[in-house]
Amino acid sequence: MLKDITIGQYLARDSIIHALDARIKIIITTLLIIALFTIDSFVGFGFFLAFIFVIIFLAKISVAKVLRGLKPILILVLFTLLIHVFLTKGGQVLWSWKFISIESAGVYTGVFMVSRILILILFTSLLTLTTSPLQLTDGIEYILSPLKKVGVPASELSMMMTIALRFIPTLLEEADKIMKAQQARGADFESGNLIQRAKSLIPLLVPLFISAFRRADDLALAMESRCYRGGEGRTRLHELKYEYYDFIALLIVVILAVTVSFF
Amino acid sequence: MDNKISTRMMAEIGVAVALAVVLNFIKLWRMPQGGSVSLEMLPIFIVTFRWGIGAGMFSGLAYGLLQLMFGAYIIHPVQLILDYPLPYMILGIAGLFNIYKSGKISSVKLLGAVLTAGLARLVVHVLSGVIFFSSYAPEGQNVWIYSIIYNASFLIPTIIVNYLAVLIVIKALENNN
């Protein structure tokens, strides 16, 4: 049922990687993604892969958990590999049968592209595995805050995301409750074709929306009675603070990114 | 964008984005390659019709960023923008339409608004697919056709289902207020 769903991938651990500042982690991930696109040899990928395993080790996450995140992307990866193996031509002919042939350039680019995709996904999933959505939201607010000057309401955006994060479990539970109540009255949410299934959701949607918007009303009232007046000057319970190890991490990544771009 | 964002609007957008996340878990139909039909767009449309284009785009942005945090598949920096914030942000353009006809919601005008926004989302997804293929697949493939067929196959049913749901929910909310 809906209540058992886990949202996001975050795994809470007591590790140095988890303790790094969310802003630094976002910047680091962006830097590494850019660096990855400058690499055109497998030596560079080797460096990256080694680095990923060091991070996994430091973050105290099991490798299996990280690899499990790759599962939904497997079809895409396989497709990319095969399309190159069969359609990219050049170099030695390794194998041929009638009009089909596999040539060395195809195998090389296929494996190369797939390695890049896999490393990219591993890296970005490391960010979401080790940083909670709430921390990431704060991080995004700080990173976007220079844009406040041109009118981008960064604090309001992060407030809305924080509200959303707060209400996801509540509304999941509510949806679950309404579904059970309607099923007890004979509603069927599981069978039929697309239109029938959509229709069967109406007895869920209407009460869910009405109660959700009522909650929003209450929340707005509660915020205003506590003198919430928008982002400017709002203080927070947990301030993001840079520590010395944040700068060390950033330094290591900059060195790595510069080094690999030579390969 | 308007500098005065009311607390009530923020609370409503926040809750609507949470609803979108919840509705995304209820899959009406799943494609073998990964696309799926759900009502995730419904709350974004509701916000758009209640508060206008700016609020709609904002809720789309917040939803896209949350999806990004819950574990995204990033294979290209441009693909990141085209797959996560943009397809949902662009739904806000439904707010450009006037959906009322002599004080009442007109189902025809609503269809125009939802359809335009949904097709704009389709365009963004198609572009994303083309960029993926052109950076990862060999040259000479007809990437546009692939991308259009793949994305349209789940987005067209999604748009239809979402339109029907918007029609019912928005009326229910109006009667309730």
Is residue A139 situated within a structural domain? no
- Interchain proximity A197–B3, CB inside 8 Å: no
User: For the ranges A229-243, B29-43, B63-77, which has the lowest average pLDDT?
Assistant: A229-243
Distances (CA, A) of A50 to A25, A37, A53, A55: 18, 17, 5, 9
Residue with structure tokens 């830097």?
A31
Question: What chain B residue is nearest to A197 in terms of C-alpha separation?
Answer: B28
Instruction: Say whether both A119 and A44 belong to one domain.
Output: yes
Q: For residue B102, is it within any domain?
A: yes
- Which residue in the set B25, B43, B136 is minimally distant from A113, CB to CB? B136
Nearest to A45 by CA among A53, A36, A54: A36
- Of A8, A161, A216, which is closest to B71 when you measure between CB atoms? A8
Q: Which residue of A has its CA nearest to B2?
A: A151
Q: What share of chain A is helix, strand, coil (3-state, %, to 5)?
A: 70, 5, 25
CA distance B171 to chain A (A): 10
Residue A145 has pLDDT above 90, yes or no: no
Same domain, A182 and A95: no
Q: Do A245 and A222 fall into the same domain?
A: no
pLDDT tens, B94-108? 999 988 888 888 889
B23/chain A closest Cα distance in angstroms: 9
Judge if A200 and A108 occupy the same domain: no
Q: How confident is the model at residue A44 (pLDDT cuts 50, 70, 90)?
A: confident
The arithmetic mean of pLDDT across residues B88-99, rounded, is 93
Percent of chain A's residues with pLDDT above 90: 41
B111 Cα to chain A: minimum distance (Å): 17
Q: How confident is the model at residue B122 (pLDDT cuts 50, 70, 90)?
A: very high
Number of domains within chain B = 1
Q: Look at residue A219 and tell me if it is in a domain.
A: yes
| Whether pLDDT at B133 is above 60 | yes
Is the predicted pLDDT of residue A238 greater than 70, yes or no? yes
Residues in chain A: 263
**CATH number of the domain to which B107 belongs:** 1.10.1760.20
B105 versus A231: which is more confidently predicted?
B105
Q: Would the CB atoms of B11 and A212 count as touching at under 8 Å? A: no
Q: Are both A72 and A40 inside the same structural domain?
A: yes
Using CB atoms, pick whichever of B14, B19, B169 lies closest to residue A160. B14
Asked if A128's CB is within 8 angstroms of B72's CB, the reply is yes
Tell me, yes or no, whether A30 and A63 share the same domain.
yes
Q: Which positions in chain A touch B18 (Cβ < 8 Å)? A: 163-168, 170-171, 212
Contacts of B31 in chain A (CB under 8 A): none
The complex scores an ipTM of: 0.89
Three-state SS for B129? Answer: helix
Query: Which two structure tokens, joined as six digits, stand for B21?
Result: 């996340």
User: Considering the domain boundaries, does residue A146 fall inside one?
Assistant: no
In a domain, A120, yes or no: yes
Residue A3 inside a domain? The answer is no
Between A70-74, B33-37, B156-160, B169-173, the lowest mean confidence (pLDDT) is in: B33-37
Name the average pLDDT for chain A: 87
The whole-angstrom separation of Cα A220 and Cα B7 is: 6
Q: Closest Cα partner for B19 from A169, A77, A63, A186? A: A169
The pLDDT of residue B2 is above 60: no
- Nearest residue, CB atoms, A133 vs list B22, B70, B165: B70
**Domain ranges, residue B130:** 7-176
Contact B73 A73 (CB under 8 A): yes
CA angle B70–B73–B79, rounded 5-degree value: 120
Kindly state whether residue A84 falls inside one of the protein's structural domains.
yes
> What's the pLDDT at B61?
95
Contact call for A205 and B1, based on CB within 8 A: no
CA distance B14 to chain A (A): 4
Burial zone of A164 (CB within 10 Å; 0-12 exposed, 13-18 middle, 19+ buried)? buried
pLDDT higher at B123 or A70: B123
Give the residue-averaged pLDDT of B150-171.
92
Asked if A163 and B18 come within 8 Å (Cβ–Cβ), the reply is yes
Both A170 and A84 in one domain: the answer is no
Residues A37 and A89 in one domain: yes
Contact A160 B22 (CB under 8 A): no
Question: A263, A39 in Cβ contact below 8 A?
Answer: yes
Sorting pLDDT into bands at 50, 70 and 90, what band is B33?
Answer: low
Full residue range of the structural domain in which residue A96 is found: 16-131+241-262
Q: pLDDT at position B140, please?
A: 65
pLDDT score recorded for residue A1: 61
**Domain presence at residue B42:** yes
Most confident of A11-15, A155-159, B13-17: B13-17
- The identity of residue A161, as a single letter, is M
Which residues, other chains included, contact B105 with Cβ-Cβ below 8 Å and sequence gap of 6+? B99, B167, B170, B171, B174
Identify which of B6, B18, B74 has the shortest CB distance to residue A164. Answer: B18
Residues of A in contact with B164 (CB under 8 A): 198-199
Residues of B in contact with A161 (CB under 8 A): 14, 17, 62, 65-66
pLDDT category at B1 given cuts 50, 70, 90 is very low
- Do the bridges between strand A93-97 and strand B36-37 make them parallel or antiparallel, or are there none, so unpaired? unpaired
B160 pLDDT tier (thresholds 50, 70, 90): very high
Mean pLDDT of A29-51: 88
In a domain, A86, yes or no: yes
Q: What is the mean pLDDT of residues A114-131?
A: 90
Q: Let me know: does A165 contact A132? Beta carbons within 8 Å.
A: no
Domain count within chain A = 2
B3 pLDDT band, cuts 50/70/90, is: very low
Tokens matching residue A258: 């510069």
Residue A148, in any domain of the structure: no
- Determine whether the interchain pair B74/A197 forms a contact, defined as Cβ–Cβ distance below 8 Å: no
pLDDT digits (tens, 9 = 90+) for A177-212: 999 999 999 888 888 887 888 888 889 999 999 999
CB contact under 8 A, B136 and A80: yes
- A238 or A173: which carries more pLDDT confidence? A173
